[in-house]
Amino acid sequence: MRQTGLDLRRRSIEIILANQTSSGAFIASPTFSQYGFCWVRDGAFIAHALDLAEEHGAAARFHDWMAEVVLARRVGLARAAEAGRRGDIPPVDYLHCRYSADAAESAVVWPAFQLDGPGIWLWSLGEHVVRGGRLTPRRAEAASLIADYLAALWSCPSYDAWEESPEHVHTSTVGAIAAGLRAAGGYLAHGPSAQRSAELAETADLIVRHLRTAAEAGYLPKWPGSGAVDGSLLWLGYPFGLFRLDDPIFATTIERIEAELVSAGGGVFRYLGDTYYGGGEWVLLTAALGSVYAARGAPGDSQKAVRCLEWIEAQADAEGLLPEQVAERALHPEWTHDWVRSWGPSARPLLWSHAAYLVLHGQLESARP
Ligand code: BGC
């Protein structure tokens, strides 16, 4: 049974809230063998979607969980920032990409050094505050620590949003850091920290200038010098607002994503070389493209945004559960079987897919006459 837009909105909120632990963490996918943790990146995007859906209490609980994750590691994170200022990559003290509900590191070896998640968290906390959420002392202290950490480490190579290619400085990661520092520069701008907050805003501006330089070929590359684009670059335009959607660099990036990463069926791939579960179409990226269209509002954009929404709705199962990705038109189907054999079927539900759907759904609802 295909869900109607309204049902899937309600189901998405239910599914997200049902999988928020009492500590405030969002379990990325409750049924997938590898995803029984809260990822910083997923959680931050989910909290933002919940704020837009007026579920401020659940968003607040996530920010509290995140603040405790950070504050429990304050000494190590300060040491990591120190290493970054010396030009080193912190060997052990970095913030991991994911934690268990009770805020512990996972014992499983994982590509844990990812710098985009904490940037997205700083940004998401800013969005929470703009919508009436409180900047409690614990949240402010944690945000301030993370802002220092990212300001020191932003130009380090790290695993990207897809937990891959640790040898590169990823455009999408660096963009997430700029969005986070810019937001934190705003909400940390009180009292004695006014000077520091100006410095955070300057670092964010410096990063955006750096991104423009890296776009020497006229589009935002997956990493400097790469000939490829990546679906995660969409976030730099919307929701982060680092580039105007009609900025020539961003417009060319969208054109390349449309030409190379949108499947014949309408779903969006992560990048052309993707082999994870064969490299299927991702729900959360299809939502991100729809969100860019909805925010841009050029002629034909609202129809394109609706097509993205409908494609997502068609991927929901009878219980309204959305997957991470859809393998039907996978880029490298010869890989799908190996992944299924190792880890079981790919994730469904994925909370972040539901969150991205909610954002697009909300944009289209508010654009109704
Ligand atoms: C994705 C990450 C995501 C994680 C949990 C990974 O496969 O590449 O972006 O954070 O799953 O959803």
| Tokens matching residue 324 | 């991470």
Nearest residue (by CA) to ligand 1, atom 1, is: 162
User: Which has the minimum average pLDDT: 43-52, 106-115, 185-194?
Assistant: 185-194
Which residue in this structure is represented by tokens 């070929």? 217
d(CA 74, CA 72) in angstroms, rounded, equals: 6
Whose CA is closest to 111, among 96, 121, 94, 101?
96
Could you say which of 7, 163, 164, 205 is catalytic? 163
pLDDT at 123 over 50: yes
pLDDT in tens, 343-364: 999 999 999 999 999 999 999 9
Could you say which of 68, 160, 230, 281 is catalytic? 160
- Contact, 90 vs 83, CB < 8 A? yes
Q: Which atom of ligand 1 is nearest to the CA of 163?
A: 8
| Tokens matching residue 237 | 């335009």
Does ligand 1 come within 6 angstroms of the Cβ of 159? no
pLDDT at 196 over 60: yes
Instruction: Supply the pLDDT for residue 183.
Output: 97
Instruction: Supply the pLDDT for residue 1.
Output: 37
pLDDT at 290 over 60: yes
The residue type at 319: E
- Contact, 319 vs 288, CB < 8 A? no
SS3 call for 34: coil
- Contact, 96 vs 105, CB < 8 A? yes
pLDDT at 3 over 90: no
Q: Which atom of ligand 1 is nearest to the CA of 35?
A: 5
Whose CA is closest to 71, among 156, 131, 136?
136
Instruction: Supply the pLDDT for residue 91.
Output: 84
pLDDT at 4 over 60: no
| Tokens matching residue 99 | 């934690």
pLDDT in tens, 218-277: 999 999 999 999 999 999 999 999 999 999 999 999 999 999 999 999 999 999 999 999
Instruction: Supply the pLDDT for residue 89.
Output: 86
Provide, for the chain, the percentages of residues in helix, strand and coil under a 3-state DSSP scheme, each rounded to the nearest 5.
55, 5, 40
d(CA 285, CA 320) in angstroms, rounded, equals: 18
pLDDT at 82 over 70: yes
* Annotated catalytic residue 163: yes
